[in-house]
Structure 1
């Protein structure tokens, strides 16, 4: 997961800007009348989010008696996020926040949408709350769906509140096979604590990140197979290890816990791979 700074604006701006673009007077008024409720919900969200306790927020079916969850969903889709609406620029500011447009939930695919961390249908009071709106790729958005945690360990990671630090935690395990078999694992630093460690594992399962990274890593190894064979032919296992170490250091300088950093570290540290495994990348699996 990639850490993101939370949006610099709050629910007051999103609600007022959205209401200004609604041409149905009764709907606009219902939204403005709900502003105090939405503001109070935002305060609660910020307090609980900072201590990883968003699962404690009670679900609701309405915002106010005049503003149901269904109507709030219509307001979000047809007014707040609609192209050409006054509030669309706020939506885009959230969507385009990640560096290079990379999804913060998987750190791999391109952002395509804005996801409600706490889902719209269960938490309509937070539909227009910026800190509940997270840029995401389509796959992460679909995988997360409308699931809600019932305890701390079941919460997926939140880019605005969760910081995994810079200590190495993503590692690769190499198994001798033809071609080499790789898998990603999480090595939890002590500073995380038991709850955060469980949440990271949960996030990886829900988002299918191991499968995603394995596929990307297999493609990466196929790309470098020729160069590794050339290095091995001229400089032997030590040359292969040195080449992989250079690749690791380059990736580490950019991101200590990218899948590429973990891949090159794992390949470098595998005696089997440096001696013979690199020659089996292009071999058919039997």
Structure 2
């Protein structure tokens, strides 16, 4: 759930570079002759993307009579994304765009591929459109599959068009248990529209972010359990809270809505955790 600057090149460039590496003359020519369709669809895509209405784009099974959905799949896989092809450099620019190589859809795992925001099997006119090509980890790519929204509320977030800002929206609930139970959730920002709020909730569910972040949080708690017990033993609950606040500030300064920011904020604000919960992280064996 990170925003990214869109690629600096357009579909004209990707098609021309891709065609330059196709050794079958008829295929390369058919791709180049389809440029007017690609350009028109790209313009419509950008316009609808800016208003959060990509769900309004019509599906199709072909680009032109000479270029159908199956051929576009072959062109993407065997030419555009193929290692050693002239257009592979463009693919890599998109894949490597996120900071530290972290997937913008989950903000946690490493980017492994380039995903079609609108699936290539249903929108072949967008197969080579840079604005439709998003860096993603393998898990997020699989979670999204080829689903197509029919309402604005059912759209996942688009890194090139959606920016959630710096307001705190990812939050944690700490439940009293041994070990403590950490539950992640979405708290919509005041300035979000109802549609955007629904989209963030939908993205959170579809990408399985609650479970992903909870697993990471459990590991993080295990890592800090000894230090919290040391702080609690010498400075009590106030010392634990101050320690957690320092960790929160450090994470917040880098990313206001990382799972670690939310975790340390939730732990800090939990009286139960600061008083006794931190002592229940490690399972004591008799």
Would you say same fold, with TM above 0.5?
A: yes
- Residue number in structure 1 paired with 2:154: 154
Structure 1 distance, partners of 2:112, 2:146, is: 18
Task: Work out the CA distance in 2 between the residues paired with 1:17 and 1:145.
Answer: 27
2:264 is the alignment partner of 1:264: yes
The alignment's C-alpha RMSD in Å is 0.9
- Residue correspondence of structure 1 range 1-286 to structure 2 within 5 A: 1-283=1-283
Once residues 100 and 120 of structure 1 are traced to their aligned partners in structure 2, the CA distance between those partners, rounded to angstroms, is 27
TM-score, reference length from structure 1: 0.99
- The alpha carbon displacement at 1:283 in A equals 2.2
Displacement of 1:194: 0.2
Tell me how far apart the structure 2 counterparts of residues 61 and 240 of structure 1 sit (CA, whole Å): 60
The DSSP-based 3-state class of the residue aligned with 1:104 is coil
Deviations along 1:62-82, one digit per CA (max 9) or x if unpaired, are 000000000000000000000
Contact map agreement 1:3 1:104 (CA 8 A) in 2: yes
Q: 1: CA distance between counterparts of 2:127 and 2:284?
A: 50
- Whether the 8 Å contact between 1:179 and 1:284 is mirrored in structure 2 is no
Displacement of 1:190 in angstroms is 1.7
Partners of 2:75 and 2:193 lie apart in 1 by 40
Instruction: Give me the whole-angstrom Cα distance separating, in 1, the residues matched to 2:84 and 2:62.
Output: 27
CA distance in 2, matches of 1:40, 1:86: 24
Q: Secondary structure at the match of 1:182?
A: strand
Cα deviations across residues 11-32 of structure 1 (Å, max 9, x unaligned)? 0000000000000011001100
Structure 1 unmatched runs, 5+: none
Q: Secondary structure at the match of 1:22?
A: coil
CA deviations 1:240-284 (Å, max 9, x no partner) are 001000000000001011000000000000000000000000127
Per-residue deviation at 1:185? 1.0
Kindly tell me the number of residue pairs found equivalent between the two proteins: 285
The 2-side partners of 1:161 and 1:199 are apart by: 13
Distance 2:4 2:98 in 1: 7
Write out per-residue CA displacement over residues 4-50 of structure 1, whole angstroms, 9 at most, x where no aligned residue. Answer: 00000000000000000000011001100101000000000000000
What stretches of structure 1 move > 4 A for 4+ residues in a row? none
Q: Distance in 2 between matches of 1:253 and 1:33?
A: 50
Counterpart secondary structure, 1:71: helix
Whether the 8 Å contact between 1:104 and 1:135 is mirrored in structure 2 is yes
Structure 1 residue 175 displacement after superposition: 0.5
**TM-score normalized with structure 2 length:** 0.99
Q: Does structure 2 conserve the Cα–Cα contact (< 8 Å) formed by 1:178 and 1:284?
A: no
| Distance (Å, rounded) in 1 between the aligned partners of 2:63 and 2:87 | 20
- What is the rounded CA distance, in whole Å, between the counterparts of 2:132 and 2:12 in structure 1? 14
What is the distance in 2 between the residues matched to 1:187 and 1:62?
Answer: 41
**Conserved? CA contact 1:131–1:160, under 8 Å:** yes
